[in-house]
């Protein structure tokens, strides 16, 4: 018999009320079967009645199952310093959530080499894995990889950018279009009468899907405001200073602009150029990077837009965690805030 000790808590209390053992309650809670229909019903009622919330501490302490996650994102380099940040977020989440029960392996690919994505992807598929965090930088390759994951019942989330036609467990990243509109909004205050240049700088053309989205948003905003502003567009697929400055030189020979909007984090290259030439051109770009902040502080860059790269990693991890360990519902789309940074507030920006 169960003792009449009241003020019990959790499964014990349920067991007492239902006059069964905690194991039976456990079976119901985990839908493990093997419980008589009416017992089950009785227990379920009590659970509802008590509004029972399992103690997560105890739960995780007692559960020994290990989930294996993989991370497939670009490696950090001087040119793509950015990718350190989402990685930091992932690691942070791992620490905070208490490492118990998750094992993460990192597979980093080269943003300048689409094959490296596929290679790393293959490595992942060769290991027993429950889920992957993917930065789908190369559309075709990412689509293929995603499909294989779906076949193998491996869950995956996208961070930083999404790709068409594929629905991951969750997308964690900016609303690219709206991000462009935000830039347009600011730009509108900076453009006088000479117009603006939208600048895409990227080696792998495939990686420009999200640049295009931003450009669209940007244009749409300006066009709504007025239809006369000159909007020039330029795409460069060499990222080094020499190439960029050369192209800019050429462009500016025949055109005048108030503002340059760089659609990704390589805005520092342009800033360098503007600084060197001492041009009176305003500059908007992306991402909280050392190389950009320098120019923000100095005044060459007027605005930086940042979309919480660290948080993206953090939330991606958390999302998988919630899905697997606490089996919560996960949101299909988790858009990041669109943060506006200037010289005056960037120091307070928490990544």
Partner DNA sequence: GTTCTAATTGTGTACGTACACGAAGTTATC
Partner DNA sequence: GATAACTTCGTGTACGTACACAATTAGAAC
Let me know: does 19 contact 33? Beta carbons within 8 Å. Answer: no
| Cα separation, 351 vs 341, whole angstroms | 12
Q: Does 27 bind DNA (CB under 7 A)?
A: yes
Q: Select from 102, 111, 182, 222 the one that contacts a second copy (CB under 8 A).
A: 182
Binding string, residues 58-97; x marks residues near a second copy by CB under 8 A: x-xx------------------------------------
| Cα separation, 186 vs 156, whole angstroms | 35
Q: Closest by alpha carbon to 16, among 28, 30, 34, 4?
A: 4
Nearest distance in Å: CB 97, DNA: 15
Of 43 and 338, which CB lies nearer to DNA in the complex structure? 43
Q: Does 342 bind a second copy (CB under 8 A)?
A: yes
First to last CA, the chain: 56
Q: Closest by alpha carbon to 141, among 83, 81, 204, 84?
A: 204
Nearest distance in Å: CB 50, DNA: 10
| Cα separation, 261 vs 271, whole angstroms | 11
- Is residue 51 classed exposed, middle or buried when 0-12, 13-18 and 19+ CB atoms within 10 A define those classes? exposed
Q: Does 210 bind a second copy (CB under 8 A)?
A: no
Nearest distance in Å: CB 68, DNA: 16
Q: What is the dihedral of CA 47, 51, 56, 61, to 10 degrees?
A: -30
Tell me how crowded residue 217 is: count the other CB atoms within 10 A of its CB: 22
Nearest distance in Å: CB 35, DNA: 4
Sign for the CA dihedral angle at 17, 20, 26, 29 comes to negative
Nearest distance in Å: CB 279, a second copy: 19
Of 12 and 335, which CB lies nearer to DNA in the complex structure? 12
Binding string, residues 269-308; x marks residues near a second copy by CB under 8 A: ----------------------------------------
Stretch that binds a second copy, among 79-87, 112-120, 133-141, 175-183 (CB under 8 A): 175-183
Residue 20 binding result from DNA, a second copy, none, given CB thresholds of 5 to 8 Å by partner type: DNA
Q: Select from 242, 290, 329, 344 the one that contacts a second copy (CB under 8 A).
A: 344
Q: Closest by alpha carbon to 23, among 32, 216, 263?
A: 32
Q: Does 326 bind a second copy (CB under 8 A)?
A: no
Nearest distance in Å: CB 121, a second copy: 30
Question: In angstroms, how far apart are the furthest CA atoms of the chain?
Answer: 92
Of 23 and 333, which CB lies nearer to a second copy in the complex structure? 333
Q: Select from 100, 140, 240, 332 the one that contacts a second copy (CB under 8 A).
A: 100
Let me know: does 307 contact 338? Beta carbons within 8 Å. Answer: yes
Tell me, what DSSP letter sits at residue 255?
-
Q: Which stretches of the chain bind DNA, using CB under 7 A?
A: 9-12, 19-24, 26-27, 29-30, 34-37, 39-40, 54-55, 58-59, 61-65
């Amino acid at each position: 018999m169960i003792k009449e000790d009241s003020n019990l808590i959790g499964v014990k209390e349920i067991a007492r009320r239902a006059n069964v053992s905690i194991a039976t309650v456990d079976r119901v809670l985990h839908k493990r079967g093997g419980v008589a229909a009416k017992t089950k019903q009785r227990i379920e009622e009590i659970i509802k009645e008590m509004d029972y919330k399992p103690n997560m501490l105890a739960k995780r302490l007692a559960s020994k199952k290990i989930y294996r996650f993989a991370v497939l994102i670009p490696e950090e380099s001087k040119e793509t310093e950015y990718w350190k940040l989402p990685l930091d977020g992932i690691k942070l989440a791992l620490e905070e959530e208490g490492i118990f029960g998750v094992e993460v392996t990192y597979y980093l690919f080269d943003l300048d080499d689409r094959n490296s994505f596929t290679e790393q992807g293959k490595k992942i598929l060769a290991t027993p894995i429950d889920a992957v965090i993917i930065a789908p930088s190369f559309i075709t390759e990412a689509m293929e990889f995603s499909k294989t994951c779906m076949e193998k019942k491996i869950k995956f989330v996208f961070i930083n950018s999404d790709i068409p036609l594929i629905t991951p467990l969750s997308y964690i990243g900016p609303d690219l279009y709206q991000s462009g509109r935000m830039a347009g909004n600011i730009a509108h205050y900076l453009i006088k009468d000479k117009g603006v240049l939208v600048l895409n700088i990227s080696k792998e053309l495939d990686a420009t899907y999200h640049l295009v989205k931003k450009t669209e948003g940007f244009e749409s905003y300006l066009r709504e405001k007025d239809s006369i502003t000159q909007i020039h567009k330029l795409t460069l697929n060499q990222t080094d200073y020499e190439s960029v400055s050369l192209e800019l030189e050429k462009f500016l020979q025949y055109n005048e602009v108030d503002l340059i909007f760089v659609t990704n984090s390589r805005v520092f290259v342009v800033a360098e150029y503007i600084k060197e030439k001492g041009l009176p051109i305003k500059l908007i770009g992306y991402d909280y990077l050392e190389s950009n902040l320098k120019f923000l502080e100095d005044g060459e860059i007027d605005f930086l837009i940042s979309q919480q790269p660290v948080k993206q990693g953090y939330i991606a991890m958390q999302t998988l965690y919630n899905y697997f360990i606490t089996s919560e519902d996960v949101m299909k789309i988790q858009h990041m805030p669109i943060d506006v940074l200037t010289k005056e507030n960037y120091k307070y920006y928490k990544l």
